[in-house]
A and B are shown apart, each in its own frame.
Chain A
């Protein structure tokens, strides 16, 4: 039986509304926060003209994108053209409800989650995978070759990384023995955070989540230098804003899922405040992803796929097998702790003592500039 109490339907509806409104507000302000932070990373000031500290910038952006001319391409498939951004946004919004924000009954006597599914993780996968339909249909319905190329490329990379993502998540699921996100958080409260048991899985999941949210090292849909605008080349006005919304909601969801699965969710060994730690953890990952965007480059398409299939997937598979072995033979779980520690030390060693550059120094005597 379900050990978690159920809420009346009106409460569930209210919470769903709250999540949607909260996510949309968070999206609006994430655009501002991201632009401000990126500016500071680039020693600029960033948007600060609209309202105090530029706080009204999202409002200005919203007004602008709503009142811009809404073009529909002549050769577009009209129905799908309108449907595609809606599909994207709806499925992006659906995913967030399954994430628990606190212990049962902590939301004014009700439950701090919208959905509590026994197949929570599977549900999340199904829903976030549906986002590819939004992207692919957008490219298909646009009737433009750049959109189609962009959407093909985006869906190929999303599907490739989905594999690594799923494989990386199997090891925590094996350890906990449940797909329910509440169970996963409670297990971590009892036994310690899953990052300690599955450090490689955490790393792989974080990388794959970046790709899933189409964030910088993997933001090929955004590669306007190559693709004009990617899958949303032909979109303008509010429809374009919906795609932007989809992307940011995926970003926020990914930042909320990583702590839920690997960093103990809303729990904290010291000073437990139900919502505070969850929000802090989400904020940390949002910051980390923006930091990465400010620093790293975008991978080339073939590099992206090679990395996904040639590194992410096999490593995730090996770690899954190791975890499966420990669980199947009923070995002490501390073996995983040691293995995770070794993996962490290997990574640390590569960062501290690894070669600085793989590029060969330029041969002397060649004239400067003009090199390939």
Chain B
């Protein structure tokens, strides 16, 4: 401890006084997420609109938390749902069990399941935390409670985050972007 060190330390804190705070007033301002944030899962589609998921259940096998349940069914050749022989008739993820590790994404042979950005999933009932296909396909905006609130208030879903860019694996997923281009 010397006078010089004391004076220098005052300079350091003064510098911080005039710098922008790192904290975010979260519900009022969006959280800045990294592009590879592990949030709510997104079931992506091919550019022609067919689902990528072929119902192989490899994600369920890879899942360390046993959070995924897949029930496959044969595609109707005239009117296919997915690009393969089969598609996922039921695709459910229990968000209470999910640990957002991303191993399902690693295991997926077609790149159908990708971890997105939504994280505001807190809800009141266990049953509401089991997300089905209708909650996770790319066109869906927001989480279950967010969409419920949007329906009640009549306002669009307000996501609590921004990302610098949406990573390409999340094909077609709309997310608020700000700053930084890929």
Interface residues of A (CB under 8 A from B): 37, 39-45, 48, 291-292, 294-296, 347, 350-358
Q: Inside 8 A of A39's CB, which chain B residues have their CB?
A: 21
B window 1-43: CB within 8 A of A: 1-10, 12-14, 16-17, 19-23, 25
Whether the pair A296, B23 counts as a contact (CB closer than 8 A) is no
* Chain A to chain B contacts (Cβ below 8 Å), 12 pairs: A40-B21, A41-B16, A42-B16, A43-B19, A43-B23, A44-B23, A45-B25, A291-B17, A354-B4, A356-B2, A356-B4, A358-B2
Whether the pair B2, A355 counts as a contact (CB closer than 8 A) is yes
Q: How large, as a class, is the contact surface on chain B?
A: 20 to 34
Whether the pair B21, A45 counts as a contact (CB closer than 8 A) is yes
Interface residues of B (CB under 8 A from A): 1-10, 12-14, 16-17, 19-23, 25
Q: Inside 8 A of A352's CB, which chain B residues have their CB?
A: 4
Question: With A351-B3, A354-B3 known to touch, is A291 a contact of B22 (CB < 8 Å)?
Answer: no
Q: Which of A48, A292, A347 contacts B3 (CB 8 A)?
A: A347
Whether the pair A295, B5 counts as a contact (CB closer than 8 A) is no
Whether the pair B7, A351 counts as a contact (CB closer than 8 A) is yes
Q: Which of A43, A347, A353 contacts B21 (CB 8 A)?
A: A43
Question: With A43-B23, A44-B21, A45-B23 known to touch, is A296 a contact of B16 (CB < 8 Å)?
Answer: no
Determine the residue in chain A with the shortest Cβ distance to B6: A296
A306 → chain B closest CB, angstroms: 13
Since A41-B17, A356-B4 are in contact, a sample of 15 more A-B pairs with Cβ atoms closer than 8 Å, ordered by chain A residue number, is: A43-B16, A43-B21, A44-B23, A45-B21, A291-B14, A294-B13, A294-B17, A295-B12, A295-B13, A347-B3, A351-B3, A351-B7, A352-B4, A356-B5, A358-B2
Q: Is the interface of A mostly helix, strand, loop or mixed?
A: helix
Whether the pair A357, B5 counts as a contact (CB closer than 8 A) is yes
B15 → chain A closest CB, angstroms: 10
Q: Is the interface of B mostly helix, strand, loop or mixed?
A: helix
Q: Complex formed: what's the CA distance from A295 to B33 in Å?
A: 31
A235 → chain B closest CB, angstroms: 31
Whether the pair B13, A291 counts as a contact (CB closer than 8 A) is yes
Q: Complex formed: what's the CA distance from A45 to B5 in Å?
A: 27
Q: Complex formed: what's the CA distance from A289 to B25 in Å?
A: 27
Q: Which of A42, A295, A347, A357 contacts B2 (CB 8 A)?
A: A357
B90 → chain A closest CB, angstroms: 44
Q: Complex formed: what's the CA distance from A123 to B20 in Å?
A: 45
Determine the residue in chain B with the shortest Cβ distance to A347: B3
Question: With A45-B25, A357-B2 known to touch, is A40 a contact of B10 (CB < 8 Å)?
Answer: no
